[in-house]
Amino acid sequence: MSYRVFQVSWDVALFAIAEVLLYLSYQQHDARFHWFLHFFVGTSAAMVVLTILTYGFNRTIPFSMLWLLLGHAMAMFPDILWNLQVLPHQPWMDVFLLHVSSHFTPGRNWTWYVIFMISLGLYLFARREMELRSDCSLHNREKIFERHGHHVVPEGTEEKS
Amino acid sequence: MEGRKHTAQPYVAIWLTVAIVVGSWLGFAEFQRNALSDPDQAWERTGMLLPPLTYEAPTSQLELRPGHRAILVFARTLNNRYVFHDLVDQSDLTRLADLIVVTPDGSRPLIEHGIRRFVTDHDGSLARQVGLRRPIDGGPPVGYVLVDSQAFVRFRTLDPGFGQRAWEIKLLLSGIP
């Protein structure tokens, strides 16, 4: 259990470090508004996909933080082209998670913040549902074992020979 | 089964923590905005050109040269200031387009080399004609406008940091005939 917490914490820490670095890079270009915008859009999209996959496969999807980072990277890709001085923004760049038109959503970044929080809520709900369902199926299996006279030993408490 | 019960509590705690941290961060960033910025940030430095032959520039007031692109820099005052921090970039820009500096007070920068014209815009009428918006503080706009060789406005933005945007201007000019 402690190993799992350690692992999850490192995922989150690496994600947080990567995002802070991206934020500082945007801040250096006086473009914090754009960091927030593409962070919200990209991670929201990633969390919606993660929610669907979690429900669909009924298990935790690994590397969830990497999914979020990739979602953000996709949403900000035209900014990378801009910073590398390759190409100014163009309407077709909406293929990168609405990179252009997402700027003009009514309510601007506060609207995207609300969408981000809803997406996070959905994903956390899916995670909890999945854990409840897996608990239920484990409980049922235990009952069947007990009905057939088998003794169920909780995981991790087996006697060592 | 005692040890395996899942409560919603950790999930709610995660959700609330993220809501508070990210919401405060966003609020702080909004609070810290430059008073010379656009009140609606979506219109500031869009990075996207306006469609051609749509927004005509006031040719006579700016005395635009036919067949030449122009960069209109709008500043509040240029007393004791350079127009661009990086003079190499400034000289690069003046090779690409005519550099016209517009101020409400008619002031001039320390280095005038490379600047084609100075225009005084006392009442902000020129800024309105090229479609520049009012900054947060309601004063004259600070930013830049790019005009194509057919005298149509192709890009406009408020930008208090215009002095450091030479490379952005060059990138945008690469898409303007």
Distance from C-alpha of A15 to C-alpha of A21, rounded to nearest angstrom: 10
Size of interface A-B (CB pairs under 8 A): 69
Q: Residue A161 has what pLDDT? A: 39
> Which of helix, strand or coil describes residue B66?
coil
Cβ of B42 within 8 Å of Cβ of A90? The answer is no
Which residues does chain B have within 8 Å of residue A157's beta carbon, measured at their own beta carbons? none
Closest residue by Cα to residue B100 from B177, B47, B153: B153
Q: For the segment B90-115, what is each residue's pLDDT rounded down to a tens digit?
A: 667 888 999 999 999 988 888 788 88
* DSSP assigned state of B51: P
Which residues does chain A have within 8 Å of residue B172's beta carbon, measured at their own beta carbons? 88
Specify burial of residue B2 (Cβ count, 10 A radius: 0-12, 13-18, 19+): exposed
A11 pLDDT higher than 70: yes
Q: Above pLDDT 70, what percent of chain A?
A: 79
Closest residue by Cα to residue B142 from B42, B69, B45, B29: B45
Show the CA angle centred on residue B67, arms to residues B63 and B69, nearest 5°. 70
Q: For the segment B116-126, what is each residue's pLDDT rounded down to a tens digit?
A: 899 999 999 99
Interface residues of chain B, partner chain A, Cβ below 8 Å: 1, 3-6, 8, 11, 14-15, 18-19, 22-23, 26, 29-30, 34, 40-42, 44-49, 160-161, 167, 170-172, 174-175
pTM for this model (two decimals): 0.86
Q: For the segment B9-64, what is each residue's pLDDT rounded down to a tens digit?
A: 899 999 999 999 999 999 999 999 999 999 999 999 999 999 999 999 998 889 99
pLDDT tier at B2, thresholds 50, 70, 90: very low
Q: How far apart are the first and last CA of chain A?
A: 23
> Which of helix, strand or coil describes residue B6?
coil
Amino acid occupying residue A94: D
The most distant pair of C-alpha atoms in chain B lies apart, rounded to whole Å, by: 84
